Amino acid sequence: MRYLLSALLLLTVVFPVGAASFLHGPYVGAPSETSVTICWLASEPVAARVEYDRMDAFSASGTLALAIDWIEPSPDSDAAVRHEIALTDLDPDSEYAYRVVLRDDTGDTASPIGRFVTAPPPRESVSFLVLADTQWQWEGVNRLEAINDAIAADGTPFDFILHGGDLVESPSSPYWDHWFQAFDDMLLLTSFLPVLGNHEESHRSYYENFVLPPGGGRKDERWWALHWGDVVVVGLDTVDLRVSDYYAEQEWAREHLSGPEPHKFVIFHYPVFSSDAYHGDGYSYDVIFHPIFVETGVDIVFNGHAHNYERIERDGITYLVIGGGGAVPRELLEEHVEGSVVATEGYNFYARVDTSADGIGVEVVSVARATDDTFELTDGHLLDRFTVDGESAVQRIAEVLLVLCAAVGAALTGWFIVRGLVR
């Protein structure tokens, strides 16, 4: 079973306390059918070991039988060391447990048990979580930790977690340290896959901190695509790009969204459409990307940047603005944009997505009512719930054909006018 005993994630194996500790992680990136990458940042350059095993074997024996043996520190290093260790030759469609052990002169320090899954074959259900705009609060309740606690208590066995950008307020070490400490439990649940927001500034620290699926742009991680059973997720960058970058992303998106997967998702930071009073939309992505999404039959596009929740439907595509991951909520305009179905302000929240042969189900889960000065936890009630069924793809194809027919008709009319055949 892929999700056997996920509650074991809360188990911590006790070792003698050493001077070395985990500043970041451990956490998992770049998941595939047979591999993942385990990442962590240790407080000192100490030896480390990755231990892992299938979850069913671990639950039966209480031990992790497989290991990447001791990784020795560089003898001339005296600073914190970040590691990326690839686990390969894993079983497809399987749930794994893992931990990282640090060793120094005083003994061993083990991380809590983490979990990840490998990609399933087609026709299996997939569950994932989406949030965006976590950022930073300078005083009062640690809002990021509250989001972390709600996600850790959710109980859904997520295949992966997506983040729509603006992870931190500023891409410097204190902000990253706060972010990793606040989200330590969430990061142990499954693989984590972000995209860039404007607050990351395409800074080198973003690329150092995360290992992403195969992609393009800077370090081949500025945009990426995850093919996961019946699901494809394309992560794009919309921050400070050159025209040539947009052309490259358009080609990348069209190629990876034109595959056989029946469930197609896209995530990037700036919203294509939004009724946000603070930022609005107007970023031209309705021209740059929307026609490609219609052409390739995208189901849902996730965007952040606007700190509220909105579901907008255009040309058979559902656009979700999900900037409620911990940043201070912002107001919506009184008059909502065309196609706005649900629009809610004043909450921090995250979204659960489930796919199956029958379609896609989405639930948007409240965590807190929030303003600049107040933060009150909710009972986890849903801000929205909806489904995208199998008929939507047929409807989109029909809409695309209608658009193409209209375009051909307009072109022919123009040609006849030029030829003087129609007056």
* Higher-scoring residue by pLDDT: 397, 338: 338
139-152 pLDDT per residue, tens: 788 999 999 999 99
What is the model's pLDDT at position 79?
Answer: 60
CA distance 201 to 369: 29
Query: What's the pTM?
Result: 0.88
pLDDT greater than 90 at residue 411? no
Per-residue pLDDT, averaged over 230-257, amounts to 94
What is the model's pLDDT at position 390?
Answer: 61
What is the model's pLDDT at position 105?
Answer: 86
pLDDT greater than 80 at residue 15? no
pLDDT greater than 60 at residue 408? no
Per-residue pLDDT, averaged over 170-199, amounts to 95
Structure confidence at residue 280 as a pLDDT band (50, 70, 90): confident
Per-residue pLDDT, averaged over 127-156, amounts to 93
Q: What is the mean pLDDT of the chain?
A: 88
**3-17, 25-39, 155-169: which range is least confident on average?**
3-17
List, in order of start, the domains of the chain with CATH numbers.
6-117 (2.60.40.10), 126-389 (3.60.21.10)
* Higher-scoring residue by pLDDT: 170, 14: 170
Per-residue pLDDT, averaged over 233-248, amounts to 92
What is the model's pLDDT at position 413?
Answer: 40
pLDDT greater than 70 at residue 236? yes
What is the model's pLDDT at position 405?
Answer: 52
- Sign (positive or negative) of CA dihedral 294, 298, 300, 306: negative
42-81 pLDDT per residue, tens: 988 889 999 999 999 999 999 999 998 888 877 666 566 7
Per-residue pLDDT, averaged over 307-315, amounts to 97
The residues, ordered by sequence, that sit 6+ positions from 99 with a Cβ below 8 Å of its Cβ are 13, 26, 50, 51, 52, 64, 110, 111, 112, 113, 114
pLDDT greater than 80 at residue 12? no
With CA atoms as reference, report the closest residue to 69 among 96, 100, 43. Answer: 100
What is the model's pLDDT at position 308?
Answer: 97
Per-residue pLDDT, averaged over 223-246, amounts to 94
CA distance 333 to 325: 20
CA distance 45 to 109: 13
pLDDT greater than 90 at residue 305? yes
The residues, ordered by sequence, that sit 6+ positions from 281 with a Cβ below 8 Å of its Cβ are 271, 272, 273, 274, 337
What is the model's pLDDT at position 407?
Answer: 45
* Higher-scoring residue by pLDDT: 77, 324: 324
| Number of Cα atoms under 13 Å in the Cβ half of residue 229 | 22
What is the model's pLDDT at position 178?
Answer: 94
What is the model's pLDDT at position 75?
Answer: 63
Structure confidence at residue 19 as a pLDDT band (50, 70, 90): low
Query: Could you give the angle at which helices 173-182 and 143-152 cross, rounded to 10 degrees?
Result: 30
3-state SS string for the chain: CCCCCHHHHHCECCCCCCCCCEEEEEEEECCCCCCEEEEEEECCCCEEEEEEEEHHHHHHHCCCCEEEEEECCCCCCCCCEEEEEEECCCCCCCEEEEEEEEEECCEEEECECEEEECCCCCCCCEEEEEECCCCCCCCCCCHHHHHHHHHHCCCCCCCEEEECCCCCCCCCHHHHHHHHHHCHHHHCCCEEEECCCCCCCCCHHHHHHCCCCCEECHHHCCEEEEEECCEEEEECCCCCCCHHHHHHHHHHHHHHHCCCCCEEEEECCCCCCCCECCCCCCCCHHHHCHHHHHHHCCCEEEECCCCCEEEEEECCEEEEEECCCCCCCCCECCCCCCCEEEEECCEEEEEEEEEECCEEEEEEEEEEEECCCCEEECCCCEEEEEEEECHHHHHHHHHHHHHHHHHHHHHHHHHHHHCCCCC
CA distance 318 to 339: 9
What is the model's pLDDT at position 76?
Answer: 61
**Upstream peptide bond of 26 is cis (omega within 30 degrees of 0):** yes
What is the model's pLDDT at position 70?
Answer: 87
355-375 pLDDT per residue, tens: 999 999 999 999 999 999 999
How would you classify residue 166: left for phi > 0, otherwise alpha for psi between -120 and 50, otherwise beta? Answer: left
